[in-house]
Structure formats: structure tokens, C-alpha cells
């Protein structure tokens, strides 16, 4: 698994950093973004315009003897960051690590939004619940849903250390990827996400309650996105922090700032503490004067999004038995 840092200045509320994993679709190797916040497996296909295909690995169904068209099926997905893709559907054998799934729905993109052209990925592999897969008229299952019966345990775990190679462990927990003992929170899959109760947080020695709030564990989102009251309370602890419209979110002086830790409650009991040093995402402007925060606003609603910033601090365990989400410090 390779981490790719998107170094462009954020023009949108948060950047997409891809965790690229090499998978083989019928022997054709592709770098896919493993996304626990969506349920579609889609790939750059040869039906894309030549300009979109440049620099990418392209899946060519015609050169795969095991590919079958899923006739009359279409898909179309729109992500929270404004990106999107759509196309047709087939099935093929998809192998990750040592596990192959035959007749896996592989969604062929014939249209993709511009951000995917510049990103180093060749598609996405959805790892949320299959209930939000976008294929019509017959909804399709995720690779994990199809694979889990053949795994030693019906779980996978995300190991995504900051600025280092990471891994996804399917079917087992790798003790080299975490410390201590994992703690677990019940998952409510009603919305198709790995969603847990997240009703309070701690910053600067104060505990703040967020009655009725939840959080989704989303490896496809780069940052931690929380409701505005929490984001304001956090940056109130950071001198010089401002919410900059022009820079696309909360920024603070790069020089001389020590960011506070942020503890978020996951489930009924446990808090996960993200060290402040992981909450400095990147310089927000060419001069490097202002730095862009790893915590940004989720916009409206009561659902926080715990993205890669969270996984930079915690091994994340997605366990279909329950379902439940476990975490342990890296």
C-alpha cells in the first residue's frame, strides 16, 4: 500500500489523499483508493476519453477472458467533496492480497470528474456497506461483502501511518500494526456507513457534549470533519487561527503554533485522542505562513467524518461481526 500526499493547496474544504493499493482485476494491476465511506468498486476503463486516461492504469475488459458484461446496468456516484464518476458494469475476478473474488461487480467509468484525472489513482474500492452501492437496476455487493465468508474472520483493518507505507489487513489483525488492546464501538449500518455514536469530544482539558451526534470512519476522506461547534471550540485554543474563505477552511500560523490534541468519543465509552501534531495538514499558501488544519467543518448535520487524520493515529478495525468498529493506537 502506498500513500500519496496531494500537495496542491486546498481549493475545496478538504483534500483527497489516496491510499493506493495495488489490486488485480483479472491480472490487470490497478491502484485503487480503498474507501470505507462508499460501496462502489469502479475503475478507469478504456471507454474514457484519451485525455482522462493519461498517466493511469486502465482496465481493459476486452483483454480479460473472465469479464462478463452486466447488461443494462449503470452506476453513478457523487462524493461529499464534489467529485464523481459514472459508467457501465461488468463482473470479473478481483484479487487483493491472496484473496480472489470471482464475479465481482467491476464498475467501468466512462465519465469521471477532473479531480480523478490528476489524482494518482485508477479507481476506488468501496468498503462501506453494500446497501449504498449505486448500481442499477440490481444493486451489487462490495468486494469485502463477497470475500468475507472466505476470510478467517469477517473483518478488515486499516493501517495508515502518517507519511509512511500502510496496509489493509483482510481477515486478521496484524499485531505489528498497533499497540495495546483494541477497544470497540457498536456500528449502526442504517445509513450504509461504518457509523458510531460520537456524542462528545475533549479539547484543552474541557469535555464538550454533542448530543445525538455520530461519526463515520471513512478512509476515503483525508481530514477529520466535525460539526461547526466542535471545530470552533478546537481552533479557539489556537492563537491566530481563522476560518479563511479564500484558503478553503481553518488555517493558523505555521510558525510557533503547537496544536492541542483532540479526543473524540467513539461509541458509549471510549475516546480516541488524535495528537495535535497530526492536525497540521499542510501549508495553506505558497509562502508557508499559514497552515491548513487537519480538522475542518463537515458543513451541516450531526454526522462527523473521521478520515485519514484519524487513521494516522489509530489502527482501524472494521468488523462485520456486530457490526462493530475497533481501534488501537499505532
Ligand X SMILES: Cc1cc(CN)n(C)n1
Q: Provide the annotated active-site residues.
A: 35
**Three-class secondary structure of residue 106 per DSSP:** strand
Place of cell 489502527: 315
Q: How far lies 301's CA from each of 99, 154, 229, 272, in Å? A: 38, 31, 11, 22
Place of cell 449504498: 132
State phi, psi for 19 to the nearest 5 degrees: -100, 105
Q: What are 99's strand-pairing partners?
A: 96
**Three-class secondary structure of residue 230 per DSSP:** helix
Question: For the purposes of burial, counting CB atoms within 10 Å of the CB of 137, is it exposed (0-12), middle (13-18) or buried (19 or more)?
Answer: exposed
**Three-class secondary structure of residue 165 per DSSP:** coil
Whose Cβ is closer to ligand X: residue 218's or residue 319's? 218
Dihedral sign for Cα atoms in the order 325, 81, 126, 163: negative
Q: Which residues bind ligand X (CB under 6 A)?
A: 16, 35, 37-38, 79-81, 83, 218, 220-221
CB of 21 to ligand X, least distance (A): 14
Whose Cβ is closer to ligand X: residue 107's or residue 218's? 218
Whose Cβ is closer to ligand X: residue 122's or residue 218's? 218
> What are the grid coordinates assigned to 120, written together?
494518482
Whose Cβ is closer to ligand X: residue 213's or residue 221's? 221
Whose Cβ is closer to ligand X: residue 92's or residue 218's? 218
Whose Cβ is closer to ligand X: residue 16's or residue 213's? 16
CB of 101 to ligand X, least distance (A): 21
Instruction: Report the residue closest to ligand X, judged by CB.
Output: 37
**Three-class secondary structure of residue 243 per DSSP:** strand
For the chain, the maximum distance between any two Cα atoms, rounded to a whole number of angstroms, is: 60
CB of 253 to ligand X, least distance (A): 28
> What are the grid coordinates assigned to 40, written together?
462502489
CB of 19 to ligand X, least distance (A): 11
Dihedral sign for Cα atoms in the order 55, 59, 60, 63: positive
CB of 186 to ligand X, least distance (A): 21
CB of 7 to ligand X, least distance (A): 18
Amino acid at each position: 500500500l502506498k500513500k500519496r500526499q496531494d500537495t496542491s493547496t486546498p481549493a475545496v474544504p478538504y483534500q483527497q489523499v489516496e491510499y493506493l493499493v495495488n489490486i488485480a482485476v483479472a491480472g490487470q494491476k490497478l491502484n485503487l483508493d480503498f474507501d470505507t465511506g462508499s460501496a462502489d468498486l469502479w475503475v478507469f476503463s478504456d471507454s474514457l476519453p484519451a485525455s482522462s486516461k493519461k498517466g493511469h492504469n486502465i482496465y481493459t475488459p476486452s483483454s480479460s477472458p473472465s469479464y462478463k458484461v452486466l447488461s443494462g446496468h449503470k452506476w453513478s456516484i457523487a462524493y461529499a467533496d464534489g467529485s464523481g464518476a459514472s459508467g457501465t458494469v461488468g463482473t470479473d475476478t478481483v484479487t487483493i492480497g491472496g484473496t480472489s473474488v470471482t464475479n465481482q461487480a467491476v464498475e467501468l467509468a466512462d465519465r469521471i470528474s477532473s479531480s480523478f484525472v490528476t489524482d494518482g489513482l485508477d479507481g476506488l474500492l468501496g468498503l462501506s456497506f453494500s446497501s449504498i452501492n449505486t448500481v442499477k437496476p440490481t444493486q451489487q455487493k462490495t468486494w469485502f461483502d463477497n470475500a468475507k465468508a472466505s476470510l478467517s474472520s469477517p473483518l478488515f483493518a486499516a493501517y495508515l501511518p502518517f507519511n509512511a507505507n500502510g496496509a489493509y489487513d483482510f481477515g486478521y489483525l496484524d499485531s505489528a500494526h498497533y499497540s495495546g488492546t483494541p477497544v470497540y464501538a457498536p456500528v449502526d449500518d442504517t445509513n450504509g456507513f461504518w457509523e458510531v455514536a460520537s456524542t462528545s469530544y475533549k479539547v484543552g482539558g474541557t469535555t464538550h457534549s454533542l448530543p445525538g451526534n455520530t461519526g463515520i470512519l471513512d478512509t476515503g476522506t483525508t481530514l477529520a470533519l466535525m460539526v461547526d461547534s466542535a471545530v470552533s471550540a478546537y481552533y479557539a485554543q489556537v492563537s491566530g487561527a481563522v476560518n479563511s474563505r479564500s484558503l478553503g477552511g481553518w488555517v493558523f500560523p505555521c510558525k510557533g503554533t503547537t496544536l492541542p490534541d483532540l479526543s473524540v468519543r467513539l461509541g458509549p465509552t471510549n475516546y480516541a485522542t488524535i495528537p495535535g501534531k497530526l492536525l497540521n495538514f499542510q501549508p495553506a499558501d505558497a509562502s508557508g505562513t499559514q497552515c491548513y488544519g487537519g480538522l475542518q467543518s463537515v458543513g451541516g448535520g450531526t454526522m462527523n467524518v473521521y478520515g485519514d487524520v484519524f487513521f494516522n493515529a489509530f489502527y482501524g478495525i472494521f468488523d462485520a461481526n456486530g457490526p462493530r468498529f475497533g481501534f488501537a493506537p499505532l
